Amino acid sequence: MAAAVEFTKRQREIIAIVKREEPISGAKIAARLNLTRPTLRNDFSILTMTGMLDAKPKVGYFYAGQHVPSLSFATLYETPVAAIMLQPVLIQATTTVQDAVTSLFMNDVGSLYVTDANQQLQGIISRKDLLRSTINGGDLSRNFASLIMTRMPNVVTTIPSARVLDAGYLLKEHQVDSLPVLAADTQKVVGKITKTRLMTYFIEQGLKIEQD
């Protein structure tokens, strides 16, 4: 059983002092802050329990925080989709399969969104859809995107205010690679969230925490 602690301003000041002057006694830290030692008792408890500080009897406090990377559920999982979504590549229903494949490679993406003139989503085309279409043969310059796309309302979508966790849940449950992000009011396509984007996001957060 564990929980996350947000440190108070005073606790962050104590950490800063210890980082600068370690080893340093509790009395000296209190003096730096113009406070009495008993006032700081709780802060010292919190800071040693969380592993930020190490206390050695008769020597003082040491900084030990680098060994306890901190992670908050809210920061990691409750970030809104809007904060990490990507620009989608849009094509039209009358784009040929040939041009769709070219667009996929040119933009180095895994999916294309088919929209009408008002940026309303009509469908989505994945790398897998294109591979299925090319292997089946036929004239790729005469087949239209509308023929091979997954069509609305069968496309799983999300909204900008959804949490990263919710978007990931949809990608996982529906086994899709990409989620169009639609404005909650106008339903216009405003972004995309992909498995790759989410994976990269989680790894970047982990690397950042490790370097803290």
User: Which of the residues 116 through 175 are near a copy of itself (CB under 8 A)?
Assistant: 127-128, 130-132, 134-135, 140, 165, 168-169, 171-172
The stretch among 4-12, 24-32, 81-89, 143-151 that binds a copy of itself (CB under 8 A) is: 4-12
Residue-by-residue DSSP string for 59-107: TEEEE-GGGS----HHHHHSSBGGGT-BPPPEE-TTSBHHHHHHHHHHH
Instruction: Please select the residue that binds a copy of itself; options are 39, 42, 107, 120, rule is CB under 8 A.
Output: 42
CA gyration radius, the chain: 26
User: Which of the residues 54 through 113 are near a copy of itself (CB under 8 A)?
Assistant: 65, 68-73, 76-77, 98, 101, 104-105
Q: Which of left, alpha, beta for 54 (phi over 0: left; psi -120 to 50: alpha)?
A: beta
Residues with Cβ < 8 Å from 211, sequence gap 6 or more? Answer: none
By CB under 8 A, is residue 207 in contact with a copy of itself? yes
Largest alpha-carbon pair distance within the chain? 83
Nearer to a copy of itself, 62 or 119 (CB): 62
Contact footprint for a copy of itself (CB under 8 A):
1-7, 12, 15, 41-42, 45-46, 49-52, 65, 68-73, 76-77, 98, 101, 104-105, 127-128, 130-132, 134-135, 140, 165, 168-169, 171-172, 177, 195-196, 198-200, 202-204, 206-207, 209-210
